[in-house]
Chain A
Amino acid sequence: MSTSKTNWFAYWVVAIVAAGGTAAALLLLQNINQRKMEAKQTAFKLVDVFETTVDPLQWGKNFPRQYDSYLRTVDTQRTRHGGSEAFQKLDTDPHLRAIFDGYAFSIDYREERGHAYMLSDQRETERVHKKAQPGACVQCHASNVVAYRKLGIEKGAPGTVEMPFASKEAQAQLFKGFEEMCKMKFDDATKLVEHPVACIDCHDPDTMHLRVTKPGFLNGIRALAKSSDPVPHLPSIERWRKGDRSKDYDPNVEASRQEMRAMACGQCHVEYHFKGEGKLVTYPWMNGLKVEQIEKYYDDSGFSDWTHARSGAKVLKAQHPEFEMWSQGIHARSGVSCADCHMPYVREGAIKVSDHHTRSPMLNISRACQTCHSYSEEEISSRVAAIQDRTKKLLDASEQAVVDLIAALEQAKKDGMTDEQLLPVQKLQRAAQWRCDFVNAENSMGFHAPQEAARILGESIDLARQGQIELLKMQSGKTTTKSTASAK
């Protein structure tokens, strides 16, 4: 009896092991099958999206992976010098109150949060509440391609809003609506939009191909193409320049996919101003993308953002010239686009998707940097920190120099010197402050083009101190004249 009991026990053990083995083999089979399926089909079309589908939720039904990561731009996280938390820059850097005195940025200047907040934060900032702003602001804080086209049709542009974006009618609608909305009051214009930047702003609803839809960018890049500034990082422009130039450069037709992966971001992450009475959002690229080429455009057109409250200088505010700064850097020159680092590919199972959680690459070093740079995360992080800390030191010196010049000018005015007398020094303040702000407003603390940032800040310090010397010369000249006069 005891032997038969043992036999049964052995049978059971073998049976259970065999059953477990079968289950494991089938589980593995299922897993392999799932991976194979993932590799075969990456998207399932569940709903149709059209040129009129603004709501990203609809697009998200077809592209849930991209949509999920897009939603994550609500996350806020600080980085070494920035990040996506709305801290008040005027408190962390008190020099800024002096530099922007008399302008809306001395009232409220907070760090930008993620894309998800662009529309609500713009509606909340004190810059909009305490100063009247135009509808031009809406160009980059909302999904507005459909809003522009609808307004354009309302104001007499031909065709319907269903027509493909590339059609002549659609382009006419877009630019008509753009011009009309720019000159509206901000409070009225912002009622015409309801989503932050959305799928339709960068993707063709039929093909999902990348596209650029912001009219300001389309105008700006055309002007850049017509300039003679070398742009080796944008080969389609170089190619267009060699052609017969019978038609304007059109990024949606001529730019490669890799260029579009930068231009889509360059639609908004740029320097701009509101031109003339129509407040038309204008990218100052007529002479090129470099700081002094942009400055030349502003100088030639007699533009200034405001008159400085303390010094009386007619000064400029730089916006966020990321596209311009990136253009001067080694990554652009090597063919690396914005999306390569800010929207790196992320593998989910057997497929790769572009991460639509746009954020600092420093929060995602393995995917953003290590694809090309085979060093440890710590090493990469410390290399970036070295570049940014050096830039920050120069930036601090530049701000100090500008603030010193502002104080000197303020004192000179108190001492009775006129704006006319001070004009040459005020011009130096404008140039020094413009350069300082160009690096400060640019969101990378010099990383997008370290040497260029250092050059710009070096010039800023030089110009500000030149201004002080000039002022001292004037004052000592005046004193000399006075003392000579009294001696007589």
Chain B
Amino acid sequence: MERRAGITIAGLALAALIGICVGSAAYTFRFAEGTSYLSNDPKACVNCHIMREQYDGWQKAAHHANATCNDCHVPQDLVGKYYTKAEHGWRHSKGFTLQNFHEPIRITPESLAVVNANCVRCHEGLTSEITSHADPVRGLVNCTQCHARVGHGPRN
């Protein structure tokens, strides 16, 4: 086959095919409200309905006025934030699509560490005497062991 200006019938067909693929993927992404996941809007977290109870609870919880989902559940540095979002996004969408996750949902140890770090980030002054002698084996004290209701209200 001879190349002329890099254009052949097969090449054009292939380009169209790839275009269809990219187009359907882009539409699916938009239909799934993909860009919302890049935002800080708590509504994005209930797109798939699983965290509806947590979202509803947060509406009435002590932290409602002061903190949204991302204030507690992702690290605050740019790289950490988007790495965590990507990792959670992959895990959650895989679980929801394949419908194979534990219910009721449970926080992972890694995510719990993120939450605790964010507790301390805001309440550093108040907690400095507690956090200064953290457990050498288990690390930082687990704030939510006792303060379980501050984020999502009484039930979760």
Q: Which residues from chain B contact A22 at a C-beta distance below 8 Å?
A: 17, 20-21, 24-25
Q: A19-B17, A28-B97, A35-B48 are in contact. Are A372 and B24 (CB under 8 A)?
A: no
Quick check: B32 and A15 within 8 Å, CB to CB?
no
Q: A347-B103, A366-B102 are in contact. Are A18 and B97 (CB under 8 A)?
A: no
Chosen A-B contacts, 8 in total, with CB atoms closer than 8 Å, are A8-B10, A15-B14, A21-B25, A32-B31, A39-B49, A351-B49, A366-B103, A371-B155
* B106 within 8 A of partner (CB): yes
* A26 within 8 A of partner (CB): yes
- Give the most central of B25, B28, B99: most A CB within 10 Å: B28
CA distance A90 to B108 in the complex (A): 49
Chain A positions 19 through 35: 1 when the CB is less than 8 Å from some CB of chain B, otherwise 0: 10110011011011101
Quick check: B102 and A28 within 8 Å, CB to CB?
no
Quick check: A18 and B18 within 8 Å, CB to CB?
yes
Q: Which residues from chain B contact A21 at a C-beta distance below 8 Å?
A: 21, 25
- A440–chain B nearest beta-carbon distance, Å: 34
Which chain B residue shows the least CB distance to A16? Answer: B17
Q: Which residues from chain B contact A366 at a C-beta distance below 8 Å?
A: 102-104
CA distance A8 to B14 in the complex (A): 11
Chain B positions 129 through 140: 1 when the CB is less than 8 Å from some CB of chain A, otherwise 0: 000000000000
Closest 6 CB pairs of A and B: A25-B25, A22-B21, A25-B24, A29-B28, A21-B21, A18-B21
Q: Which residues from chain B contact A26 at a C-beta distance below 8 Å?
A: 24, 28
Q: Which residues from chain A contact B99 at a C-beta distance below 8 Å?
A: 349
Quick check: A18 and B104 within 8 Å, CB to CB?
no
- A334–chain B nearest beta-carbon distance, Å: 10
Which chain B residue shows the least CB distance to A1? Answer: B1
Quick check: A28 and B103 within 8 Å, CB to CB?
no
Q: Is the interface of A mostly helix, strand, loop or mixed?
A: helix
Quick check: B17 and A18 within 8 Å, CB to CB?
yes
Q: Which residues from chain A contact B96 at a C-beta distance below 8 Å?
A: 35
* B27 within 8 A of partner (CB): yes
* A363 within 8 A of partner (CB): no
Total chain A interface residues with beta-carbon distance under 8 A: 29
Q: Which residues from chain A contact B25 at a C-beta distance below 8 Å?
A: 21-22, 25
| Cross-interface CB contact of B32 among A32, A350, A371, cutoff 8 Å | A32
Chain A positions 341 through 385: 1 when the CB is less than 8 Å from some CB of chain B, otherwise 0: 000000101110000000000000011001110100000000000
Q: Which residues from chain A contact B18 at a C-beta distance below 8 Å?
A: 14, 18
Quick check: B28 and A350 within 8 Å, CB to CB?
no
Which chain A residue shows the least CB distance to B11? Answer: A11
Quick check: A372 and B20 within 8 Å, CB to CB?
no
Which chain B residue shows the least CB distance to A35? Answer: B48
Known: A25-B24, A370-B104. 19 other contacts (CB 8 A): A14-B14, A14-B18, A18-B14, A19-B21, A22-B17, A22-B25, A25-B21, A25-B27, A25-B28, A28-B28, A29-B24, A29-B27, A35-B48, A35-B49, A35-B96, A347-B103, A351-B49, A366-B103, A367-B103
* A77 within 8 A of partner (CB): no
Q: Is the interface of B mostly helix, strand, loop or mixed?
A: helix
Which chain B residue shows the least CB distance to A20? Answer: B21
CA distance A15 to B102 in the complex (A): 38
Question: In chain A, residues 1-52, which have Cβ atoms closer than 8 Å to a Cβ of chain B?
Answer: 4, 7-8, 11, 14-15, 18-19, 21-22, 25-26, 28-29, 31-33, 35, 39
- B93–chain A nearest beta-carbon distance, Å: 9
- A199–chain B nearest beta-carbon distance, Å: 26
Which chain A residue shows the least CB distance to B97? Answer: A31
Q: Which residues from chain A contact B21 at a C-beta distance below 8 Å?
A: 18-19, 21-22, 25
Question: In chain B, residues 10-54, which have Cβ atoms closer than 8 Å to a Cβ of chain A?
Answer: 10-11, 13-14, 17-18, 20-21, 24-25, 27-28, 31-32, 48-50
Q: A31-B97, A370-B104 are in contact. Are A7 and B1 (CB under 8 A)?
A: yes
Quick check: B1 and A4 within 8 Å, CB to CB?
yes
Q: Which residues from chain A contact B17 at a C-beta distance below 8 Å?
A: 15, 18-19, 22
- A259–chain B nearest beta-carbon distance, Å: 18
Q: Which residues from chain B contact A8 at a C-beta distance below 8 Å?
A: 1, 10
- A286–chain B nearest beta-carbon distance, Å: 35
Which chain B residue shows the least CB distance to A372? Answer: B155
- A33–chain B nearest beta-carbon distance, Å: 7
CA distance A395 to B102 in the complex (A): 37
CA distance A442 to B27 in the complex (A): 58
Which chain B residue shows the least CB distance to A7? Answer: B1
Quick check: B24 and A374 within 8 Å, CB to CB?
no
Which chain B residue shows the least CB distance to A4? Answer: B1
CA distance A444 to B28 in the complex (A): 50
CA distance A39 to B148 in the complex (A): 28
- A258–chain B nearest beta-carbon distance, Å: 13
Q: Which residues from chain A contact B14 at a C-beta distance below 8 Å?
A: 11, 14-15, 18
Q: Which residues from chain B contact A11 at a C-beta distance below 8 Å?
A: 10-11, 14
Quick check: B104 and A350 within 8 Å, CB to CB?
no
CA distance A8 to B8 in the complex (A): 12
CA distance A8 to B104 in the complex (A): 52
CA distance A93 to B81 in the complex (A): 62
CA distance A56 to B134 in the complex (A): 59
